């Protein structure tokens, strides 16, 4: 992942130093387990831990240099560690293990830590949406379908629905964390031929992982589930960001991204304030979906193991984690700082729409008066088109329609009052807002 979108706490998890540190800890825990089970002299395990190398830039360089000879990263790592510890203790490093035992178990530990950061960021995103939704529960706004004026809603209802979706993403992420919080130390093809299953149990317990049956590698549907969780996070953020982009358009002007002191919206046009954060987030969602496809391709491997998944995972798992984390953090800031133009929302709803958003209650009133639905629909449709083309208020066109007056009779005025009553249209808005009570944030 390029530095521009790499936040340090997540990037640190996927550094070479972190990877080799985790590998080393697994190797040392295996020796501890052997000693506890009486399968290795305790002094060897103690010596290995005491003489274990510090994993720093020099250590990484040494492993990389050794890999130029071995053409195998784990073998190079083991060589450097064994040399640092020395015989006889060092000779037992990697005893009974295969490379995937160390690599897959370490990767699981890294992904659980990454998931914890993502969950923390999800908490902040959900909390931001919840707070803003409650704040704007009564902020009236045009509902739009197909990009066209539909019926009244509130900005709070809109955000509440995104909050509920983000909460579902968070739950999917919790399940994905559980799926990847597993380890295996069962040797080549996973049959424990050269290692006691109790070693696996003890090491996984020390790491906070759950030992599971495996071939030579952990099943990759687990990693695909993790990538699915990051992709759905991206999809939710994309939907919200797309909404904000539309609402910031000059002719709509209902919301606006926060604009900092000294910020420039365009190198050429000083008046511009563009929805750049929302546009960036939409692009990131596209990349996250691509990572999911790669993860799905990794599920099917040859026999008990091949390494066609390895090169893919070295790219997509760190990058998906980094990108989803960045997107969540940036989205929370976007929501928190969003400028909401309440008066513009009301203006677009009541004046910009010419009142056409109240066409359905007029239709229903005519049906209730005794007209067939089709006959009522034709009257309302005709008057709505006349209002739109003449740019006259919809209600005034209805009031001058003798066919409508005849259908509604002497109660025509009262019926139209009720049909055009904004509070009536939004009287159940808190049903959606109240659903947020179940959302922990």
From 266, 308, 390, 406, active-site residue = 266
Is 108 part of the annotated catalytic residue set?
no
Q: Number of helices (H) and strands (E), helices first, in the chain? A: 19, 6
DSSP secondary structure string for all residues of 379-421: HHHHHHHHHHHHT--HHHHHHT-HHHHHHHGGGHHHHHHHHT-
Q: For residue 369, give Cα distances in angstroms to 82, 144, 400, 421.
A: 90, 29, 18, 19
CB atoms within 10 A of CB 308: 12
Contact between 207 and 30 (Cβ < 8 Å):
no
- Cis amide prior to 88 (ω within 30 degrees): yes
CA distance between the termini of the chain:
29
Contact between 125 and 328 (Cβ < 8 Å):
yes
Q: For residue 35, give Cα distances in angstroms to 7, 48, 49, 89, 385.
A: 40, 11, 12, 12, 85
In the DSSP assignment, the letter for residue 96 is: T
Distance CA 272, CA 437 (A): 39
CB atoms within 10 A of CB 12: 13
CB atoms within 10 A of CB 272: 12
Q: Kindly state the helix (H) or strand (E) to which residue 86 belongs, with its residue range.
A: none
| 81: nearest Cα among 102, 112, 108, 107 | 102
Is 146 part of the annotated catalytic residue set?
yes
From 57, 146, 303, 428, active-site residue = 146
Q: Which residues of 116-129 are buried (b: 16+ CB within 10 A; e: fewer)?
A: ebbeebbbbbbbbb
The tokens of 212 are what?
């599971």
Q: For residue 307, give Cα distances in angstroms to 14, 220, 299, 344.
A: 20, 12, 11, 57
Phi, psi of 213 (to 5 degrees): -60, 145
The tokens of 252 are what?
């709509």
Distance CA 256, CA 273 (A): 8
The tokens of 80 are what?
């450097």
Contact between 92 and 48 (Cβ < 8 Å):
yes
Q: Which residues are catalytic?
A: 146, 266
């Amino acid at each position: 992942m390029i530095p521009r979108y790499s936040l340090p706490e997540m990037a640190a998890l996927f550094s070479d130093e972190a990877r080799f540190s985790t590998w080393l800890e697994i190797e040392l825990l295996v020796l501890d387990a052997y000693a506890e089970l009486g399968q290795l002299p305790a002094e060897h395990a103690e010596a290995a831990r005491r003489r274990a190398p510090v994993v720093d830039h020099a250590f990484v360089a040494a492993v990389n240099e050794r890999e130029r000879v071995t053409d195998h990263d784990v073998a190079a790592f083991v060589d450097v560690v064994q040399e640092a510890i020395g015989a006889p203790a060092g000779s037992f490093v990697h005893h009974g293990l295969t490379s995937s035992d160390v690599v897959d178990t370490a990767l699981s530990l890294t992904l659980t830590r990454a998931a914890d950061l993502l969950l923390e960021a999800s908490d902040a995103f959900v909390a931001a949406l919840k707070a803003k939704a409650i704040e704007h529960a009564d902020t009236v706004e045009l509902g739009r379908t197909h990009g066209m004026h539909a019926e009244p809603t509130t900005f709070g209802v809109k955000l509440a629905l995104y909050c509920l979706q983000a909460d579902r993403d968070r739950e999917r992420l919790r399940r994905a964390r559980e799926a990847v919080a597993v380890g295996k130390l069962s040797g080549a093809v996973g049959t424990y031929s050269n290692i006691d299953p109790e070693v696996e149990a003890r090491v996984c317990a020390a790491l906070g992982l759950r030992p599971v049956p495996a071939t030579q590698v952990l099943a990759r549907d687990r990693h695909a589930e993790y990538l699915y969780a990051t992709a759905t996070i991206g999809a939710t953020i994309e939907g919200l960001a797309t909404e904000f982009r539309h609402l910031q358009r000059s002719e709509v002007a209902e919301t606006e991204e926060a604009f900092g002191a000294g910020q420039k919206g365009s190198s050429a046009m000083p008046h511009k304030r563009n929805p750049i954060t929302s546009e960036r987030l939409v692009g990131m969602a596209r990349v996250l979906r691509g990572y999911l496809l790669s993860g799905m391709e990794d599920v099917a491997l040859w026999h008990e193991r091949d390494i066609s998944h390895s090169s893919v995972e070295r790219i997509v798992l760190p990058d998906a984690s980094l990108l989803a984390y960045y997107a969540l953090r940036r989205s929370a800031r976007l929501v928190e700082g969003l400028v909401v133009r309440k008066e513009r929302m009301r203006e677009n709803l009541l004046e910009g729409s010419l009142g056409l958003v109240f066409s359905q209650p007029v239709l229903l009133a005519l049906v209730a008066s005794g007209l067939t639905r089709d006959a009522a629909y034709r009257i309302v449709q005709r008057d709505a088109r006349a209002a739109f083309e003449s740019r006259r208020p919809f209600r005034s066109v209805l009031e001058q329609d003798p066919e409508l007056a005849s259908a509604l009779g002497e109660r025509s005025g009262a019926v139209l009052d009720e049909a055009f009553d904004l509070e009536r249209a939004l009287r159940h808005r808190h049903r959606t807002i109240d659903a947020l009570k179940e959302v922990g944030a």
